[in-house]
Chain A
């Protein structure tokens, strides 16, 4: 197992190298010179002199390969450069916003599990019942409703109409409820359906029939045998979702004025802030890879037949 984890972590190196090259090429293919964008963001007309001055200051006057290898060399020393816009070290900037996004994502995950696991199990156990139909409708609504719309609705009712929670911002744990609920509901809808389908598939398997024939209690059959097997595909999707939630929290962060890394990243994309985009994409790649690794490791606990590292 240890060897497997080390191997997977080492695999990160070529992945990150590939990601950094692709990101570098892509952001340089996008039209618009970051020097000009910087000036326009400053409400300053981009005169030739000013653009030349900014290009020199940002190091954009050098050949592309020099820019890339210079960046790579610095990254090897954990220096991701300075933001073109804020002039602050990129890594420190991103790390200062990351905790807020992690807080939001973890809270959303918890809410998502609290909603989807019981609903998915009950919907499977009472298939075609009123509860199942109701959960199906909710799942469709939840999955198809855009998060910005859902967020505004939740804000309107819970913050404005019923005056139960703050409208926006970060402060007490009360500020966390609406944004994490908004982020969680869409995902919860998907997981409810996924878990239901997986539960139903496992319920019709022979080992369930055998367990029932052995006279095992239904609670034990469902809790220990069916649910554990049904969780495998759910956990796989869950691992991917964690990354998606971290990277996709931007809409929720914008609506609820949550000071997370997503907002910073999107602002950087519109500002053509290359060092921030590079660092952010690399960081997200690391998070995705680590999430997948955690999912793979969790398989061996859920299904002892899967022995990680012994293929």
Chain B
């Protein structure tokens, strides 16, 4: 009898819990309605400490909300003023004088001036090795405070992408003096994240959420929203359900939800679902220094044999557009009118025949000197899109007699293959604006890159690297364009990249959200114009 009573009590507790659940969510919904001008979106990782001069675990979108650069990157690669109102470049291109905006205050009320700007840049230069991937840091010789609102940066060479790289989210953004550690070395950590940006981090519960409130000291156009909450949700499906339930107002980014989920939300008609312009390119690098892909004709055959449109329609639902060149033509210096490799199976077969890889009677795959035409395609096992695309490529190449072996491992091992050049084909990608094309081209000279490894068998690799070195330092616009035409044209002709699609950012939001506009860069969440009705 006692146990039956106990059981009844437990059922009652469970039932009342569920009832309380109903009440709770209604109360919450009512409470949320009473708070206007607030937006909630989600990210898959915690925002980090928001150190403007460091990288992971700091999330770029969050660093961008709090800190600002001297100049910003706008549509079409144009450089616009931000904390610097204007700038002068010396005739030899080795000195840039920045005239800093007056009246700019950090969110703690202190002034932003040339001394603080110098303090920040010097703190980054003090750890130059950490930032050696960024040519700008290697090129800066010194900084000088001319007056309270004038800062001069001296360069070792006339480095043309200096302004583009000054617009990057990290490492050259500005922390208030009160945020600096006592040692002044920000690579050891910061005291608090105080910037000049439109948002102030007001609450942060690690791995749960971060709350940003509007910076009332902000010098520019203040956001219409008063508060932005970022919920940390690692799983894409959970993010979709939280959005559908109304716990999130916006889903933004690349790869944060599956393309199937995006399509489903789009088709429901209940939300606004949008796709940005191309932000980077998804490519497969073909190794010109390993096995059968050493032969240009084999690489060209692969280009002609892959039905990219089928990939776009079947895997990307048209959300990502077909890519024919390494860089999208809307990027600076990239509108080169290169001739795409069209889908042409007959041509692909002819190229393989020409290369000596013959179809043998009764055998599935082509052979040459007794060897089968086997290629290793490496991908990241945690990336479902790579897996799906790899399977299509495997199927398409089988049609022309190439045996593609799919090799998958977790992300870090996959990067190791990229670095070692242990692949015939491997997934890779461009970095997007403002890095493209100059930063990626610059990195093509580093052996730790898939690009370097893929290009290392090209007869003109040394020439390509030389021209990359020149293009970064030339001050003449015409020469620069000619150099880029050579570099990108040669890489296209040599077929070392199989471009698949142009990656995009996606945004899905409820209809009570308005004023959303994509920005030209990948990691900036466009919050400034957003309104919540």
Q: Which residues of A contact B (CB under 8 A)?
A: 31-32, 36-54, 85-87, 96-97, 114, 118, 152, 155-156, 159-160, 163-170, 172-174, 177, 223, 254-257, 259, 263-264, 270, 272
Contacts of B131 in A (CB 8 A): 50
User: A54-B130, A156-B241 known; A40 and B235 CB under 8 Å?
Assistant: no
Contacts of A37 in B (CB 8 A): 412, 415
Contacts of A256 in B (CB 8 A): 238
In the complex, what residue of chain A is closest to B129 when comparing beta carbons? A53
From B193-201, B242-250, B400-408, B509-517, the one touching the partner chain is B242-250
Report the minimal beta-carbon distance from B182 to chain A, rounded to whole angstroms.
16
Contacts of B238 in A (CB 8 A): 152, 155, 167-168, 255-257
Q: A174 and B448: CB pair below 8 A?
A: no
From B18-26, B141-149, B389-397, the one touching the partner chain is B18-26
Report the minimal beta-carbon distance from A71 to chain B, rounded to whole angstroms.
21
Report the minimal beta-carbon distance from A9 to chain B, rounded to whole angstroms.
32
User: A159-B241, A165-B21 known; A270 and B448 CB under 8 Å?
Assistant: no
Contacts of B55 in A (CB 8 A): 39, 41-44
Report the minimal beta-carbon distance from B305 to chain A, rounded to whole angstroms.
31
Instruction: State A42–B60 Cα separation when bound (angstroms).
Output: 9
Size range of the interface on B? Answer: 35 or more
Q: B56 and A85: CB pair below 8 A?
A: yes
Contacts of A42 in B (CB 8 A): 54-56
Contacts of B133 in A (CB 8 A): 39, 44-47, 50
Q: Does B449 contact A (CB under 8 A)?
A: yes
Q: B22 and A160: CB pair below 8 A?
A: no
What are the nearest 6 A-B pairs in CB distance?
A: A42-B55, A53-B129, A42-B56, A259-B207, A49-B132, A41-B56
Q: B416 and A31: CB pair below 8 A?
A: yes
20 residue pairs bridging A and B, Cβ less than 8 Å apart: A31-B416, A40-B411, A44-B55, A45-B443, A47-B133, A86-B49, A96-B206, A114-B10, A152-B238, A152-B241, A155-B238, A155-B241, A167-B241, A177-B17, A254-B234, A255-B238, A259-B206, A259-B232, A263-B234, A270-B410
Q: B412 and A32: CB pair below 8 A?
A: yes
Q: Does B208 contact A (CB under 8 A)?
A: yes
Contacts of A47 in B (CB 8 A): 132-133, 446, 448
Instruction: State A162–B245 Cα separation when bound (angstroms).
Output: 10
User: A31-B413, A45-B443, A177-B17 known; A85 and B208 CB under 8 Å?
Assistant: no
Instruction: State A53–B126 Cα separation when bound (angstroms).
Output: 12
User: A40-B412, A40-B415, A52-B129 known; A170 and B448 CB under 8 Å?
Assistant: no
Q: A164 and B22: CB pair below 8 A?
A: yes
Contacts of B290 in A (CB 8 A): none
Contacts of B449 in A (CB 8 A): 45
Q: Does B210 contact A (CB under 8 A)?
A: no
User: A47-B132, A167-B242 known; A174 and B56 CB under 8 Å?
Assistant: no
Instruction: State A202–B10 Cα separation when bound (angstroms).
Output: 27
Q: Does B419 contact A (CB under 8 A)?
A: yes
Contacts of A159 in B (CB 8 A): 241, 245
Contacts of B232 in A (CB 8 A): 257, 259
Report the minimal beta-carbon distance from B4 to chain A, rounded to whole angstroms.
10
Contacts of A168 in B (CB 8 A): 231, 233, 238, 241-242, 247
B288-320: which have CB < 8 Å to A? none
User: A40-B415, A85-B57 known; A118 and B241 CB under 8 Å?
Assistant: no
Q: Does B161 contact A (CB under 8 A)?
A: no
Instruction: State A170–B413 Cα separation when bound (angstroms).
Output: 33
Q: A38 and B413: CB pair below 8 A?
A: no
Instruction: State A36–B414 Cα separation when bound (angstroms).
Output: 12
Contacts of A31 in B (CB 8 A): 412-413, 416
Q: B22 and A169: CB pair below 8 A?
A: no
Q: B231 and A169: CB pair below 8 A?
A: yes
Contacts of B234 in A (CB 8 A): 254, 257, 263
Q: Does B260 contact A (CB under 8 A)?
A: no
Q: B233 and A174: CB pair below 8 A?
A: no
Contacts of A177 in B (CB 8 A): 17, 21
Report the minimal beta-carbon distance from B177 to chain A, rounded to whole angstroms.
21
Q: Does B7 contact A (CB under 8 A)?
A: yes
Contacts of B244 in A (CB 8 A): 160
Inter-chain pairs besides A45-B448, A118-B7, A257-B208, 4 sampled, C-beta below 8 Å: A45-B449, A163-B22, A170-B208, A254-B235
Instruction: State A155–B239 Cα separation when bound (angstroms).
Output: 11
Instruction: State A54–B131 Cα separation when bound (angstroms).
Output: 11
Instruction: State A32–B418 Cα separation when bound (angstroms).
Output: 12
B28-60: which have CB < 8 Å to A? 48-49, 54-57, 60
Q: B56 and A164: CB pair below 8 A?
A: no
Q: A86 and B231: CB pair below 8 A?
A: no
Instruction: State A37–B411 Cα separation when bound (angstroms).
Output: 9
Report the minimal beta-carbon distance from A100 to chain B, rounded to whole angstroms.
9
Q: A86 and B416: CB pair below 8 A?
A: no
Instruction: State A85–B57 Cα separation when bound (angstroms).
Output: 6
Contacts of A44 in B (CB 8 A): 55, 133
Report the minimal beta-carbon distance from A279 to chain B, rounded to whole angstroms.
17
In the complex, what residue of chain B is closest to A168 when comparing beta carbons? B238
Contacts of A85 in B (CB 8 A): 56-57
Instruction: State A40–B417 Cα separation when bound (angstroms).
Output: 14
Instruction: State A226–B242 Cα separation when bound (angstroms).
Output: 47
Report the minimal beta-carbon distance from B515 to chain A, rounded to whole angstroms.
26
Contacts of B411 in A (CB 8 A): 40, 270
In the complex, what residue of chain A is closest to B21 when comparing beta carbons? A164
Contacts of A170 in B (CB 8 A): 208
Report the minimal beta-carbon distance from B430 to chain A, rounded to whole angstroms.
13
Q: Does B237 contact A (CB under 8 A)?
A: yes
Contacts of B17 in A (CB 8 A): 173-174, 177
Report the minimal beta-carbon distance from B6 to chain A, rounded to whole angstroms.
9
Interface string of B408-452 (1 = CB under 8 A from A): 001111011001000000000000000000000001001011000
Q: Does B189 contact A (CB under 8 A)?
A: yes
Interface string of B205-232 (1 = CB under 8 A from A): 1111100000000000000000000011
Report the minimal beta-carbon distance from B444 to chain A, rounded to whole angstroms.
10
Q: A257 and B233: CB pair below 8 A?
A: yes
User: A45-B449, A160-B241, A163-B22 known; A86 and B57 CB under 8 Å?
Assistant: yes
Instruction: State A151–B60 Cα separation when bound (angstroms).
Output: 30
Instruction: State A39–B446 Cα separation when bound (angstroms).
Output: 15
Instruction: State A174–B24 Cα separation when bound (angstroms).
Output: 8
Report the minimal beta-carbon distance from B411 to chain A, rounded to whole angstroms.
7
Instruction: State A156–B245 Cα separation when bound (angstroms).
Output: 10
Contacts of A272 in B (CB 8 A): 412
Instruction: State A173–B416 Cα separation when bound (angstroms).
Output: 44
Partner of B413, one of A32, A39, A155, A169: A32
Instruction: State A49–B416 Cα separation when bound (angstroms).
Output: 17
Contacts of A32 in B (CB 8 A): 412-413, 415-416
Q: B419 and A166: CB pair below 8 A?
A: no
Contacts of B235 in A (CB 8 A): 254-255, 257
Contacts of B412 in A (CB 8 A): 31-32, 37, 40, 270, 272
